[in-house]
Amino acid sequence: MRLIIIISIFITGCVSQPPEKSNSVGHFIHAGPSNAESDTLSTKWKYGFKFTINHQSVTEVRLSCLPIPGTNLIVKKQNLKINTNGIAFWDGEVLEINREKTPWLFESATTEAICQAIVYRIGEPNSIERAPVTFTGAMKAATLRQMKEAHSYNIKLKRKN
């Protein structure tokens, strides 16, 4: 039995403005919600990051998109999984989608946040990369619709198997 996961709105446009100047160890290529496999309607925050340095020296990356809840993530060296092009994707914790745990998804107002990656390296000072993200009310409503559809589809697939 294999469950097909439909990722709802892989919003590559989440990092919608150019990143701030930094000491440039890389930049965000993605920061946003995606649906998560769960018995309840759930989401997880997904980060994509492109390193522009020798990533072998990276020992840890700490990520967040504040003030959005559920976006904090610490990735230790053994879990970095950076590909040969210097790109890595990481998933945050699974959160049930509801007004208590993911209130920002239900707000009609635009949600803005600053995504931050603190990159720790051997023998180098910590580097901080930042990028703003913006989610309009319409974008959030579309994300919720797609996540609900994906969850419903996956539940039906589970029942068939």
| Pair 133, 71: CB distance under 8 Å | no
5: in domain: no
7: in domain: no
3: in domain: no
Which residue segment(s) compose the domain that 60 sits in?
12-160
Q: Total domain count for the chain?
A: 1
At residue 55, the pLDDT reads: 92
6: in domain: no
| Pair 6, 154: CB distance under 8 Å | yes
Low-confidence ranges of the chain (pLDDT < 50): 1-22
2: in domain: no
Model pTM above 0.75: yes
**Amino acid sitting at position 65:** C
At residue 37, the pLDDT reads: 87
- Closest CA relative to residue 130, chosen from 20, 48, 16, 14: 20
Structure tokens at 143: 């994300």
97: in domain: yes
4: in domain: no
78: in domain: yes
Look at residue 143 and give its three-state secondary structure: helix
**Amino acid sitting at position 138:** A
Structure tokens at 148: 């609900």
CATH number, domain containing residue 135: 2.60.40
